[in-house]
A and B are shown apart, each in its own frame.
Chain A
């Protein structure tokens, strides 16, 4: 039996600033089952980051319920059960690669219940073993993002939240990193919620793609990506891949909520 690692119900968030109120996301229902890779695609300014921050306990939503790994978002945070990767890697520039990766072990030491992954294995997994004593400013953009990924994975969190982790990279590095991320995930099978602008990236990585509208962000459609794993570049030209691309693109441009946008639909279908 599969368990649900992230469950979101009726989530709405409105930013208030003075007399202006901006509804970033509206009535979001979402579910990520254990070991599933779910991507959210949508236009920028569509509240995707807001949704991720709410799930990660960085922001208290206006209304709605969130369960992460069986508890509230804040409790999951206190247990250090959430791994976060942001668009900007935000490494601490005064710490080496190895020290940055170990930082989650040093913070909130009473978080408990967490068996740390061996940092050496973590460095190996992201291919940075020989760069362990380098400082972030000595690394390329792709490498800093790998360090950020290792830092998020070091505590072996139940869920991994990624906010456009490849968004700041150049096209070539981005494509390479996409496949490295895929390989890494296929080994660990974490429950992932992944935010991206790139339709191709979403299809290539995910089991499910959630298509969101622009402001206020609503879920337009769930698309089940039924492509075989392990996946590689050759899939990009396959008929199925192109069909998914078309389907998602059409949903985005029409902006119409698909009748199968409900939470039961993806897993029931």
Chain B
């Protein structure tokens, strides 16, 4: 058989590194320009109306505070990031175990899923003080809060993903008498990855929120603690610096997630048509 040249053309885009850089800059430049314009407008507003520093400091003052003591913010930022990621990992581990178990048995799903819903519907800020009382002032309660907030989206999408298998591919596996273990590892798990990445994109920023909320209640370290202390002192430049640091952490994590998604899901429609 001869491959017909008309239909045999690969549909992937050329991947010259130079092209990719041009493409990345094409996305980056407009975003940076828009951000700079917003900061400029903010600075002008603060100067023209002579806003009090304890109400709203200008971005320049905030950046001065931030970079004047970058080690301080990096230290607390690192703590928050570490707690958030440990919580995310723990939440994923529990959620994926749960999804695997539930995907195998409708009965277990019916008994366990309502409990997962219960965990989800209780507002995280309501249980955060409780965790602090139970588990003290260390990192553990914050990790736990981040884990709890991460858990539900990963569980739901993991479960949906494990069940969302191409019926034709499933028939093919069965026609070869593949074991359920083979079907799970070679078919269900890869099929669930697009759903899992959708969950990660939601859960990773949530994990940071969870860690910050936990730090609100203990006030010894992390950006949440920095914010509470700055708030009590009406030290707005420090408070805003902590917010900027959180924004930086959030953007970095989002970009890393997108990058990993592109690498892992290169075969999925969402990446092919992107």
Which residues of A does B touch, CB under 8 Å?
53, 56-58, 74, 77-78, 80, 82, 84, 86, 88-94, 103-104, 106-108, 111, 125-128, 130-131, 134-143, 146, 151, 173, 176, 180, 183-184
Given contact pairs A137-B272, A146-B1, A180-B1, enumerate 18 new A-B contacts (beta carbons under 8 Å): A58-B174, A74-B177, A82-B175, A84-B172, A86-B171, A88-B166, A88-B168, A90-B172, A94-B190, A104-B176, A107-B177, A108-B176, A108-B177, A111-B177, A125-B1, A135-B266, A137-B267, A176-B4
A258 to nearest B CB, angstroms? 32
Partner among A93, A106, A126 whose Cβ is within 8 Å of the Cβ of B268: A93
Q: Which residues of B contact A131 (CB under 8 A)?
A: 3, 8
Residues of chain B with a CB closer than 8 A to A89's CB: 168
Q: Which of A82, A134, A142 has the most CB of B within 10 A?
A: A142
Closest to A89 in B: B168
Chain B 178-205, CB within 8 Å of chain A: the 1/0 string? Answer: 1100100011001000000000000000
Interface residues on B, range: 20 to 34
Q: Is A143's CB under 8 angstroms from B172's CB?
A: no
In the complex, how many angstroms separate the beta carbon of B103 from the nearest chain A beta carbon? 19
Q: Which of A77, A84, A127, A135 contacts B1 (CB 8 A)?
A: A127
Residue of A whose beta carbon sits closest to that of B272: A137
**Which chain B residue shows the least CB distance to A151?**
B172
* Closest Cβ neighbor of A93 among chain B residues: B267
Residues of B within 8 A of A146 (CB): 1
- Report which of B3, B177, B186 forms a contact with A127, defined as CB distance below 8 A: B3
Task: Report the separation of the CA atoms of residues A183 and B272 in the bound assembly, to the nearest whole angstrom.
Answer: 34
> Distance (Å) between the CB of A70 and the closest chain B CB?
17
**Are B7 and A142 in touch, CB under 8 angstroms?**
yes
Task: Name the distance in Å between B216's Cβ and chain A's nearest Cβ.
Answer: 42
How many angstroms between the C-alpha atoms of A148 and B174 in the bound complex? 15
| B11 part of interface (Cβ distance < 8 Å) | yes
Select which of A53, A78, A127 is within 8 A of B2 by beta carbon.
A127
Our pick among B2, B4, B7, B182 for the contact of A107 (Cβ within 8 Å) is B182
The CA-CA distance from A82 to B103 in the complex, in Å, is: 28
- Is B267 within 8 A of A94, CB to CB? yes
Residue in B11, B176, B266, B268 whose beta carbon sits within 8 Å of that of A111 in the complex: B176
- Nearest-neighbour CB distance to chain B for A141, whole angstroms, equals 7
Residue of A with least CB distance to B170 = A90
Nearest first, the 6 A-B pairs at minimum CB distance are: A90-B168, A127-B1, A140-B7, A93-B267, A138-B10, A107-B178
Do B7 and A86 touch (CB < 8 A)? Answer: no
Whether B182 contacts A84 by the Cβ 8 Å rule is no
List residues of chain A with CB within 8 A of the CB of B56.
none
| A98 → B minimal CB distance (Å) | 15
| Residues of the B chain whose Cβ atoms lie less than 8 Å from the Cβ of A126 | 1
Q: Which residues of A contact B244 (CB under 8 A)?
A: none
Judge whether B169 is part of the interface by a CB distance below 8 angstroms. Answer: yes
Q: How far is B142's CA from A102's CA once the two chains are assembled, in angstroms? A: 47
Tell me if B12 counts as interface (CB < 8 A to partner A).
Answer: yes
Residues 80-108 of chain B, each 1 if its beta carbon lies under 8 Å from chain A, else 0: 00000000000000000000000000000
CB-defined A-B contacts under 8 Å, sample of 5: A74-B177, A86-B172, A88-B168, A108-B178, A138-B10
Query: Is B78 in contact with chain A by the CB < 8 A criterion?
Result: no
| CB of B131 closer than 8 Å to a CB of A | no
B113 in the interface (beta carbon within 8 A): no
Which residues on B sit within 8 Å (CB–CB) of A173? 4, 7
